[in-house]
C-alpha cells in the first residue's frame, strides 16, 4: 500500500506540474524529413518540465486531396528534460496503418511519399505506461508541399570514358528542387577485375571520399595521389541534408588510358581549335601547334592557357601573338615557360569577336 501511495503521489505531482498548459511540444521540419516514413523519427520532442515524463505519439499523415495516407502509433518512451528524438527502438515497435488509396499503398511499398500537399499531425499523450492514466494530450501539425526530385546526374567523367588525365575534375547535375543547406558527398574507388561497380564502390578503399560539398564540381584534391594509368575507377555522388540522404547518383566507370599520340608528319601539322570539345587530347612536345579560322577583323590574339588541375590557375608570360583575318597558324614554344609541367593537362582558350570561344585540351611533354 505504501508503494502504491508513493506512486499515486508522484502521478498527482506530474498532473499538477503540467497544469492546464502542456509542457511537451513538437518541432518537425516537414520540408526536409516529410519525404519518407523514416523521416518521422527525426521529429524533436521538447520536454519543458523539470522532470522526465513518459509519452506516446500518434502521427497522422494526410494528403489534402487523397485524405488520410497513414497513421503511426509510437508506444510510450521516456522524454528527458530538454530536446528528445524518437528513439529507433520505439519507432521500430510502432504500429503502422496505411490507407487503401494510391498514396497510402505507395508509402507502404516504398517508404516514400508521392507528390502532393501534406499535413503531418503529432498527437502527444503524456501519461503512465503501466496504468494507462493520461496526464496531458496535445496536438501539433506541420504542412509541406512535396514535389518530385529530378535525378542526381553524373556529367564528367562520362560513363566508360577513357582519358590520360591522372588528376581529373568531377562534375555532376544536382537534383531539383535542391533543399536549402543540401550538401554532396563524392566517392571514387579503383575497380578491380571481376568486380561489379557496386562491389567496387562498396568494398574498395576510396581514392577520394569527400563530403560537405555545396557545389556540383570537385577539382582533383591537391594532396590526393594521382590515379594510375591503365586502371579502372568508379565514382558516385550522394546528396544529403543533415543526416538524411536525399538521393544518390548512378555509379559510373572510367579508365585512365594513355595511348601514344600518332606523330603528325612534317612541321606543318597543326591541331584545329574548335568551339565544342571532341573528347580527344593533343600531345604538345615542347611546341604547341594550333590553327583556326578568324572570320573577323585582325588584331592581337586574345588567348589564355589554364592548368586543368586548377581551373583558376592561368599560365602567365605567354608570348603576344598577332591575329590575322582568315586562317591563322601558330607554333608556340612552351619549353621556355617554367609553368608547364611534364605530362600535365592544359587547355588553351581563344576568344574571338561576337563572344566566340575556341578551345583545345592538350598534354605537355618533353
Q: Chain-wide mean pLDDT for the chain?
A: 86
Q: How confident is the model at residue 281 (pLDDT cuts 50, 70, 90)?
A: low
17 and 132 inside one domain:
yes
Say what the pLDDT of residue 284 is: 87
31 backbone dihedrals φ, ψ, rounded to 5°: -65, -30
pLDDT tens per residue across span 11-64 = 445 444 544 456 899 999 988 788 889 889 999 999 999 899 999 999 999 999
> Rounded to an integer, what is the distance from CA 231 to the centroid of its chain?
26
298 backbone dihedrals φ, ψ, rounded to 5°: -75, 170
Residue 344, helix vs strand vs coil:
coil
Q: How confident is the model at residue 72 (pLDDT cuts 50, 70, 90)?
A: very high
| Percentage of residues in the chain having pLDDT higher than 90 | 46
Say what the pLDDT of residue 202 is: 94
Q: Is residue 261 part of a domain?
A: no
| Alpha helix positions (H), the chain | 2-18, 30-33, 88-92, 102-110, 197-203
User: Of 146 and 277, which is predicted with more confidence?
Assistant: 146
Sign of the CA dihedral running 26, 247, 196, 219: negative
111 and 7 inside one domain:
yes
Say what the pLDDT of residue 117 is: 93
Which of 334, 278, 347 is closest to 306 using CA atoms?
A: 347
335 to 178, 332, 341, 350: CA distances (angstroms): 46, 9, 9, 20
User: Of 94 and 149, which is predicted with more confidence?
Assistant: 94
24 and 127 inside one domain:
yes
Q: Is residue 283 part of a domain?
A: yes
Say what the pLDDT of residue 9 is: 46
Residues 6+ apart with CB under 8 A from 70: 37, 60, 61, 96, 97, 98, 99, 104, 107, 108
Sign of the CA dihedral running 29, 30, 36, 37: positive
Average confidence (pLDDT) over 107-111: 89
Q: Is residue 262 part of a domain?
A: no
User: Which region, left, alpha or beta, applies to residue 299 given φ > 0 means left and ψ of -120 to 50 means alpha?
Assistant: left
Q: Is the pTM of this model over 0.75?
A: no
12 and 135 inside one domain:
yes
User: How many domains does the chain fold into?
Assistant: 3
Q: Is residue 187 part of a domain?
A: yes
Listed residues 99, 118, 146: the one ending a domain: 146
Average confidence (pLDDT) over 210-218: 93
Contact 141, 284 (CB under 8 A): no
250 and 275 inside one domain:
no
33 and 130 inside one domain:
yes
11 and 117 inside one domain:
yes
238 and 316 inside one domain:
no
Range of the domain at 197: 153-256
Find cell 584534391 and name the residue.
221
| Separation between Cα atoms, residue 322 and residue 272, nearest integer Å | 17
Q: Is residue 67 part of a domain?
A: yes
Say what the pLDDT of residue 232 is: 96
60 and 107 inside one domain:
yes
Which of 278, 285, 271 is closest to 330 using CA atoms?
A: 271
324 to 111, 159, 271, 321: CA distances (angstroms): 65, 40, 18, 10
Say what the pLDDT of residue 279 is: 56
Find cell 592548368 and name the residue.
307
Q: How confident is the model at residue 342 (pLDDT cuts 50, 70, 90)?
A: confident
136 and 208 inside one domain:
no
Res 247 pLDDT > 60: yes
**CATH number for the domain including 221?**
2.60.40.10
Listed residues 146, 179, 207: the one ending a domain: 146
Q: DSSP characters for 72-126?
A: EEEEEEEE-SEEEE--HHHHHT-EEEE-SSHHHHHHHHHSB--SEEEEEEEEEEE
Q: Is residue 263 part of a domain?
A: no
Half-sphere exposure of 172 (CA within 13 A, CB side): 31
Say what the pLDDT of residue 280 is: 58
> Rounded to an integer, what is the distance from CA 272 to the centroid of its chain?
37
- Measured at the CA of 328, the angle between CA 326 and CA 331, to 5 degrees, comes to 175
> Rounded to an integer, what is the distance from CA 242 to the centroid of its chain?
12
Contact 75, 94 (CB under 8 A): yes
182 and 128 inside one domain:
no
pLDDT tens per residue across span 40-49 = 999 999 999 9
Q: Is residue 266 part of a domain?
A: no
pLDDT tens per residue across span 287-323 = 898 888 888 888 899 999 988 877 677 788 889 999 8
Say what the pLDDT of residue 2 is: 45
42 backbone dihedrals φ, ψ, rounded to 5°: -90, 5
Amino acid at each position: 500500500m505504501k508503494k502504491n501511495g508513493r506512486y499515486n503521489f508522484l502521478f498527482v505531482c506530474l498532473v499538477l506540474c503540467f497544469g492546464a498548459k502542456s509542457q511537451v511540444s513538437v518541432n518537425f521540419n516537414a520540408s526536409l524529413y516529410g519525404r519518407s516514413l523514416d523521416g518521422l523519427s527525426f521529429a524533436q520532442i521538447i520536454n519543458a518540465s523539470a522532470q522526465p515524463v513518459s509519452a506516446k505519439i500518434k502521427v497522422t499523415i494526410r494528403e489534402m486531396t487523397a485524405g488520410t495516407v497513414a497513421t503511426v502509433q509510437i508506444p510510450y518512451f521516456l522524454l528527458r528534460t530538454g530536446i528528445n528524438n524518437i528513439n529507433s527502438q520505439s519507432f521500430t515497435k510502432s504500429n503502422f496503418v496505411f490507407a487503401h488509396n494510391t498514396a497510402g499503398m505507395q508509402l507502404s511499398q516504398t517508404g516514400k511519399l508521392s507528390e502532393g500537399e501534406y499535413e503531418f499531425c503529432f498527437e502527444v499523450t503524456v501519461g503512465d505506461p503501466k496504468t494507462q492514466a493520461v496526464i496531458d494530450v496535445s496536438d501539433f501539425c506541420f504542412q509541406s508541399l512535396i514535389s518530385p526530385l529530378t535525378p542526381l546526374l553524373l556529367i564528367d567523367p562520362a560513363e566508360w570514358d577513357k582519358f590520360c588525365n591522372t588528376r581529373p575534375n568531377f562534375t555532376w547535375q544536382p537534383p531539383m528542387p535542391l533543399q536549402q543547406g543540401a550538401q554532396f558527398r563524392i566517392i571514387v574507388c579503383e575497380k578491380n577485375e571481376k568486380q561489379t561497380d557496386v562491389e567496387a564502390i562498396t568494398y574498395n578503399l576510396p581514392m577520394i571520399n569527400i563530403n560537405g560539398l555545396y557545389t556540383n564540381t570537385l577539382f582533383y584534391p591537391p594532396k590526393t595521389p594521382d590515379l594510375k594509368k591503365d586502371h579502372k575507377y568508379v565514382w558516385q555522388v550522394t546528396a544529403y541534408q543533415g543526416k538524411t540522404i536525399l538521393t544518390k547518383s548512378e555509379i559510373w566507370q572510367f579508365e585512365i588510358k594513355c595511348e601514344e599520340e600518332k606523330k603528325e608528319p612534317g612541321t606543318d601539322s597543326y591541331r584545329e581549335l574548335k568551339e565544342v570539345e571532341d573528347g580527344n587530347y593533343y600531345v604538345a612536345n615542347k611546341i604547341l601547334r594550333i590553327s583556326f579560322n578568324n572570320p573577323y577583323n585582325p588584331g592581337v590574339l586574345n588567348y589564355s592557357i589554364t592548368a586543368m588541375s586548377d581551373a583558376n590557375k592561368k599560365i602567365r608570360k605567354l608570348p603576344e601573338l598577332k591575329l590575322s583575318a582568315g586562317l591563322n597558324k601558330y607554333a608556340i614554344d612552351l619549353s621556355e615557360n617554367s609553368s608547364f609541367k611534364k605530362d600535365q593537362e592544359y587547355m588553351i582558350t581563344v576568344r574571338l569577336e561576337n563572344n566566340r570561344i575556341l578551345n583545345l585540351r592538350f598534354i605537355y611533354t618533353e
